Structure 1
Amino acid sequence: MTAFDVRPITEEERRSTFDLLRRALHVRPVTDDVWARIRESWPAAHKFGAFEGGSPIGIVSSYDTEIAVPGGRILPVAAVEGVGVRADRTRRGALSAMMAAQLADFAARGLPLAVLHASEPTIYGRFGYGSAALGKTVRVERPAARLHERVAAGGDVRLLTPEEAVKEIPGLYRRIGLHRPGMIGRPAQWWPISHDQQAGPDGGHLVAVHSGPDGDDGFVVYATISRRSFEAPDRGAALDVHDLHAAGPEARAALWRYLLSVDLVSEVRARHRPVDEPLALMLTDHRHAATVAVEDDLWLRPVDVEAALAGRTYGTAGPVVLAVTDRQLPANTGHYEAGPDGARRTGAAADLALDVDTLGMLYLGQWSATTLAEAGRVEVRDEAALARADELFTTTAAPWCGTHF
């Protein structure tokens, strides 16, 4: 077993840990020029490294932001953005030790929730994260696909220059707001790596903005991918949608109408769209839009179970008592009553029992208590409580994050 220490990284270790993360993700280390542009997006704060003889062999990173939860409230959340272990030091306990340190830090700082996107879904359940929101990949055939005449798609769509895209889109995202459970805020450090690298002068992506009666209210970031070949020299390009957000249905429809009107395009693809986005129904022929995949998107972990449960609202059914088990943060283990009047810790007998990762799956409304019970993830102690829990936790809109981190 290799000996290593886990501790917060220092300012001087930012570059070496960033390069380590990229190597773990099979990406080349950045050049000096690129590092100079993005270094402020990799601060030392909230990063824990595993070190062997002074050299980093692993890294876990997060940043603090906000998340929309059912009922429209906005709660503090830790977004876990970079996790990696050097290839020759995996499966020796470094990841578990770093994740434990990170969770302890979240709890000490009073954060109610943590979220991540899982590169390998089998990893994070043992640390208390559950698959809390799904995303679908859609493929739309061109030029056959067009919006139905009854779909409202007014306003104007304009293309931005790369310089305008870097400057204008952060403010527009804030104005659109966190209007769906699972959407998270994008702090200043998020933009240089996750947006500017794609939409800026060196990125190659295109950015279009929709303007309605009250000004700009939607945007799309996409790339054009050539699909020509020797056998098909006239085949149209594909548009790969990287980021699409709108304040309402009309702005969203107008952005899709724009994408479907671009000349010399054979298909439009978009990954991690809301599973309830009605794109196919917006077309004159719904068969021209296909859902080609549905994948786990946002993973969520309650860090302070009582605060997390109290932070969201519930349906109108009678309350249920949940027995929650949390092996990593044992202070969370206990009974909690959730109902129309809120949620709180209780000494009452439990109706349903579940681990904290399953509570993460239930929290945003993606999965019903009945479905989770049928999957063996919820122990049912009162059969009548399942229907009540379904009514309490279900949301009208499917949860969706819409932000890669």
Structure 2
Amino acid sequence: MTAFDVRPITEDERRSTVDVLRRSLHHNRITDDAWARTGKSWPAEHKFAAFDGGTPIGIVSSFDTGIAVPGGRAVPVAAVDGAGVRADRTRRGVLSALMAAQLADFAARGVPLAVLHASEPTIYGRFGYGSAALGKTVRVARPAGRLRERVPAGGEVRMLTPEEAVKELPALYERIGLHRPGMIGRPDLWWPVAHDRYAGPEAGHLVAVHSGPDGDDGFVVYATVSRRSFDSPDEGAVLDVHDMHAAGPAARAGLWRFLLSVDLVSGVRGRHRPVDEPLAVMLADHRHAATLAVEDDLWLRPVDVEAALGARAYRAAGPVVLAVADRTLPGNTGHYEVGPDGVRRTSAAADLALDVDTLGMLYLGQWSATALADAGRIEVRDEAAVARADELFTTVTAPWCGTHF
């Protein structure tokens, strides 16, 4: 076992630790120019590194923001935006020590929830994260794919210059708001890395904004990807949707109508779209829309189980007593009565028993208690409680994050 120490990083260790993360994800070390543009998005705050002597060998990072939960509240959340270990130090307990330190920090600061996008799905369940929201990859064939005449219409779409995209989109995203469970706020440090480097003056993506009766209400960031080849010289490009948000159905339809009207393209593709986005039924012929994949997107971990359960709303059903087990944060282990009138710890017998990662899967409404019980993730001690839990936790709108971090 290699000896190492885990501690918060200092300001002077920011660049060396971002390089550890980049190399662990098989990217080159950051250049001087890139660091000058994006270094402010890698503050020392909320970062823990493992050190062998004075050399960093692993890193975990997060930033604080808010997340929409069922019922419409925005709840504080820690968004884990980086976790990596140097290739010659993996499988030696480094990541486990880093994740334990990070979770202890979240708990000490009173953060009720943590979320991440998993590079490998098999890693994060053991740290209490569960797959809480899915996303689908869709492709619409062009020119055959077009919207039905009765799909909501109105408003205008305009293209932004890169300078306008950098300036205008943060306020527009905030105006659109966190209207779906799983959506998170985008703090100032998010934009330089996750938006500006795609759509800014030195990037290649394009940006279009939809304006309705009350002003700007949606946007799309997309790239044009050539599909021409020696064997298919006449095949048009594909528009690859990188980021799309809309305040309502009319704005969403307006953005899709715009994308499907662009000339000289053979299709439009979007990854990690909401699983319930009704794109196929918006088309005159739904067969021109194909779902290519459905993948895990947002992973969620209750850090303070009682506070997390108490933050969301529940549908009308009889209460259910959950026995939650949490090995990393044992203070969460216990029984919780969950109902439409609230949540409380209890000494009553449990109706359902589950680990904290499974509670993360149940929390936003992506998975039903029935499905999780059938998969062996929930131990059923009262059969009637499964249907009550289904009704309590179900959401009409599928959860979706829509923000890469």
In structure 1, how many angstroms separate the alpha carbons of the residues matched to 2:344 and 2:252? Answer: 38
Letter of the 2:243 partner, please give it: D
Letter of the 1:33 partner, please give it: D
> Residue 188 of structure 2 aligns to a residue in which SS?
coil
In structure 1, how many angstroms separate the alpha carbons of the residues matched to 2:389 and 2:19? Answer: 45
In structure 2, how many angstroms separate the alpha carbons of the residues matched to 1:259 and 1:29? Answer: 35
> Residue 229 of structure 2 aligns to a residue in which SS?
coil
1:153, distance to aligned residue in structure 2 (A)? 2.3
In structure 1, how many angstroms separate the alpha carbons of the residues matched to 2:139 and 2:153? Answer: 20
In structure 1, how many angstroms separate the alpha carbons of the residues matched to 2:30 and 2:5? Answer: 26
In structure 2, how many angstroms separate the alpha carbons of the residues matched to 1:46 and 1:390? Answer: 36
In structure 2, the residue matched to 1:25 is: 25
Q: Sequence identity, in percent?
A: 82
Equivalent runs, 1:305-384 vs 2, <5 Å = 305-384=305-384
> Residue 260 of structure 2 aligns to a residue in which SS?
helix
Equivalent runs, 1:198-213 vs 2, <5 Å = 198-213=198-213
Stretches of structure 2 that go unaligned for 5 or more consecutive residues are: none
Say how many residue pairs are matched. Answer: 405
1:348, distance to aligned residue in structure 2 (A)? 1.1
Letter of the 1:374 partner, please give it: D
In structure 1, the residue matched to 2:35 is: 35
Letter of the 2:203 partner, please give it: G
1:203, distance to aligned residue in structure 2 (A)? 1.2
1:250, distance to aligned residue in structure 2 (A)? 0.4
Letter of the 1:154 partner, please give it: G
1:233, distance to aligned residue in structure 2 (A)? 1.5
> Residue 51 of structure 1 aligns to a residue in which SS?
strand
With structure 2 as the length reference, what TM-score do the two structures score?
1.00
In structure 2, the residue matched to 1:397 is: 397
In structure 2, the residue matched to 1:133 is: 133
In structure 2, the residue matched to 1:181 is: 181
In structure 2, how many angstroms separate the alpha carbons of the residues matched to 1:136 and 1:232? Answer: 28
In structure 2, the residue matched to 1:279 is: 279
Verify: 1:153 aligned to 2:158, yes or no: no
In structure 1, the residue matched to 2:167 is: 167
Stretches of structure 1 that go unaligned for 5 or more consecutive residues are: none
In structure 2, how many angstroms separate the alpha carbons of the residues matched to 1:288 and 1:184? Answer: 31
1:34, distance to aligned residue in structure 2 (A)? 1.1
> Residue 261 of structure 1 aligns to a residue in which SS?
coil
In structure 2, the residue matched to 1:267 is: 267
Letter of the 1:190 partner, please give it: W
In structure 1, how many angstroms separate the alpha carbons of the residues matched to 2:294 and 2:355? Answer: 25
Verify: 1:60 aligned to 2:60, yes or no: yes
1:239, distance to aligned residue in structure 2 (A)? 0.6
Letter of the 1:343 partner, please give it: V
In structure 2, the residue matched to 1:221 is: 221
In structure 1, how many angstroms separate the alpha carbons of the residues matched to 2:156 and 2:196? Answer: 24
In structure 2, the residue matched to 1:246 is: 246
Q: Deviations over 1:59-95 (max 9, x none)?
A: 0000000000000011000000001000111001000
In structure 2, how many angstroms separate the alpha carbons of the residues matched to 1:135 and 1:344? Answer: 32
Q: Deviations over 1:181-224 (max 9, x none)?
A: 00000000000000000000111000000000000000000000
1:33, distance to aligned residue in structure 2 (A)? 1.2
